[in-house]
Chains A and B, each alone.
Chain A
Amino acid sequence: MIFTPAKTNLPSMDGETGSISVPSPVVEFENVGFGWPGKKSFVIKVAAFSLFKGEKVLLLGPSGSGKSTLLSLLCAIVLPDRGRITVLETSLTTLSSSARDRFRAEHFGIIFQMFNLLPYGSVMDNVLLPLSFAHQRRMRSSQNAGMENDARTILDRLGLEPEEIGASRANQLSVGQQQRVAVARALIGSPEIIVADEPTSALDRDHQRLFLGFLFEQISTSNATLIMVSHDDTLSSEFDRVIRIDEVLCPDNEEMRMEKMG
């Protein structure tokens, strides 16, 4: 697969020679194969897939096509059966299980489709939650005038009133507000990669635009890389790059499944 670098975040120019230095990918999949344990029928195979620093990528595909599995692999929640996944120059397969959990906490902000928040917890606790598991993010956040102030700033920038909703329980918010709180949680402490799994599907059109506006603005501010999964191609124009899932997955998925079952 041929990759086109992001329009907005071109790789740095080397002034002396004028040549373009090869951008190092933030995420790189090489010959990855994976099947859920105990579920022989669903196997994905990815020959090559990369994300580059600062780009906003939309991964398009119908539901059940393996998008979520790809994200699980990316976030090191599951390990590939074969091949290599390198994130921020770290090979995920070399990490121990607890190191992977720490790695995920430090470098990923994850936003789900819905039900992102612990419903009984306060908004503030929900936003600060990842900092309990990520040392560097906690340090970065503390340097921004303290973790709680940092959280308030982010909530404020996302169009939420931190003074008003900070102490209220997460399940008292509207779905749109909850998704924005989830963005705040993903962004706090500036992790390098933001992963969003259909974050707008529970929102109506107007709120989708609003949500994406807030999301992009914040991601540009923190210079993070975004990969968002959706089945809805109307959002395509907003992204630097759009990838269809069938471009990523190898066509011999079917064969692999047969092999494994046989």
Chain B
Amino acid sequence: MIVARLALQSLWSRWLTAILTVAAISFSVMLFLGVEKVRDGARSSFSNTISGTDLIVGSRAGSIQLLLYSVFRIGNATANITWESFEDIKSRPEVAWTIPISLGDSHRGFRVMGTTGDYFEFYQYRRHKKLTFQSGHPFEDIFDAVLGSDVADTLGYQLGDPIIVSHGLGTLGLSKHDDKPFRVAGILNKTGTPLDRTVHVSLEAIEAIHLDWQGGARIPGRSISAGQVRRLKLQPRSITAALIGTKSKLRIFSLQRFVNTYREEPLTAILPGVALQELWQLMGTAEIALTAVSAMVVVTALLGMITMILTNLNERRREMAILRSVGAGPRTIFSLLMTEAGILTTIAVLVGCILLYAGLFAVQSTIDAKYGLFIEIDPPAFRELAILAGIIVTGFVAGLLPALRAYRMSLSDGMMIRN
């Protein structure tokens, strides 16, 4: 009792170094947990890029490639799907809804995606969240464009602004569809997905701007004005990919089999969740690197604590000699120093958790709005708890080194008190 009280008073008499040590460890714990949270957030944001879609259909390709161009707007499709094949799939009994998409054009570095009004109705991200409009509305006119929030922010577009779409991808030297300008009809809210960096137009408009084109250039002498286009029936000849929702999850696989064995044309149907998982695994090393860095920070902080205790030990030789003289055994000396290290680490872990959660509460919405990274505020997962427990245990064990040294010093000091 008295020994415990004296140990606490001893620690308190060194409050400045103790507080600095606790601060160092708690910051490292906060960083470590924070990295875990961000990692989880990134992973779920990533896998939440697309939600509610049961299958993605494209021309025959690897699943990651199909996912990359259809969802992440990275890379290109090697071939298109004919409209007839799309109609075939659409008419299957398993299908509840379809979103055809057509890619290939761009606007000042942002991808232009042709789609239908169904897109705004059925497309979901982050656990069945639907797209919402910051302003404006979905396609009404054939040359209406709906912008992702990043596009509008970066280029400073307002509703009603004209947009000229370039043929192909990139920013420079592209031929422009400048005879048929679009008008900004709607701007979407931020989603934190590649959709924010996409210009959405109708499939018909994609068809219309390419009517008088062939092989990436205008057909000389043939020009159809925007006015004339409106009078034509614009039936797309092909699309790049299609997102499909089924009526029942149980029928996803039969539909997938149908698509993969489709005879008219080589097609691939992928389960987006599975493909996302595969893609995330490719980034596994980055995850490990991140964890490794934060683990090293924790180790550094614990080393700092050992240094602190060892440094103080010289000043505490008197304390140890007095305790030995009144009959405290090596066990008492050991447990004193180990408990001190353990208490410091435990306090630090608690403070680190409090700091982290306070921080999360403070910046969660800002991070979500600004970076589209949604970090869930949930109690620490089992894995995180295990890590925290591990840090506390390490803290106690870290006290072993100073304890051993104190024990040896108290033996060699004998009856002499050094100060």
Taking Cβ atoms with an 8 Å cutoff, the residues of A that contact B are: 36-38, 68-69, 71-72, 75, 77-78, 97-98, 101-102, 104-106, 108, 110, 112-121, 125, 128-134, 185, 197
Contact = CB atoms under 8 A, between A and B. Distances in A.
Interface residues on B, range: 20 to 34
A117 B322 contact: yes
Contact of A101 (B12, B318, B328, B417): B328
B414 A104 contact: no
Nearest to B324: A77
Contacts of A112: 321-322, 325, 415, 417
A71 B2 CA distance: 27
Contacts of B20: none
B175 interface: no
Given A75-B325, A118-B6, A98 B13 contact: no
A197 B415 contact: yes
Contact of B330 (A37, A97, A108, A131): A97
Interface string B4-33: 011001101100000000000000000000
B282 interface: no
A118 B316 CA distance: 10
Given A38-B412, A72-B415, A133 B13 contact: no
Interface string B298-342: 000000000000000000001101111111111110000000000
Contacts of B328: 101, 105, 133
A217 to B, nearest CB: 22
Contacts of A101: 324, 327-330
B322 A98 contact: no
A125 B326 CA distance: 13
A121 B419 CA distance: 17
- B2, B318, B323, B330, most chain A CB atoms within 10 A: B2
B13 A120 contact: yes
Taking chain B's interface residues, is the majority helix, strand, or loop, or is none over half, making it mixed? helix
Given A118-B319, A132-B3, A36 B412 contact: yes
B411 interface: yes
Given A38-B412, A78-B411, A130 B327 contact: yes
B172 interface: no
B325 A110 contact: yes
Given A110-B326, A130-B327, A68 B415 contact: yes
A129 B6 contact: yes
- 10 closest residue pairs by CB, A with B: A105-B327, A133-B327, A72-B414, A101-B329, A120-B13, A130-B326, A72-B415, A110-B325, A120-B9, A71-B415
Contacts of B385: none
Given A120-B9, A129-B326, A115 B416 contact: no
- B324, B325, B412, most chain A CB atoms within 10 A: B325
Contacts of A119: 13
Contact of A113 (B13, B327, B417): B417
A128 to B, nearest CB: 6
A130 B6 CA distance: 12
Nearest to A78: B414
A106 B329 CA distance: 13
B1 interface: yes
Contact of A115 (B1, B3, B414, B417): B417
A134 B327 contact: yes
A134 B3 CA distance: 13
A68 B419 CA distance: 16
A106 B419 contact: no
Contacts of A120: 6, 9-10, 12-13
A129 B329 contact: no
A128 B2 CA distance: 8
B317 to A, nearest CB: 10
Contacts of B414: 36, 68-69, 72, 77-78
- B3, B12, B13, B414, most chain A CB atoms within 10 A: B414
Given A120-B6, A133-B329, 13 more contacts: A68-B416, A77-B325, A77-B415, A97-B329, A98-B330, A101-B329, A102-B327, A104-B325, A105-B327, A121-B6, A129-B322, A132-B2, A133-B326
Contacts of B411: 77-78
Contacts of B6: 118, 120-121, 125, 129
B91 to A, nearest CB: 85
A116 B415 contact: no
Contacts of B419: 115
- A98, A101, A116, most chain B CB atoms within 10 A: A101
B20 to A, nearest CB: 19
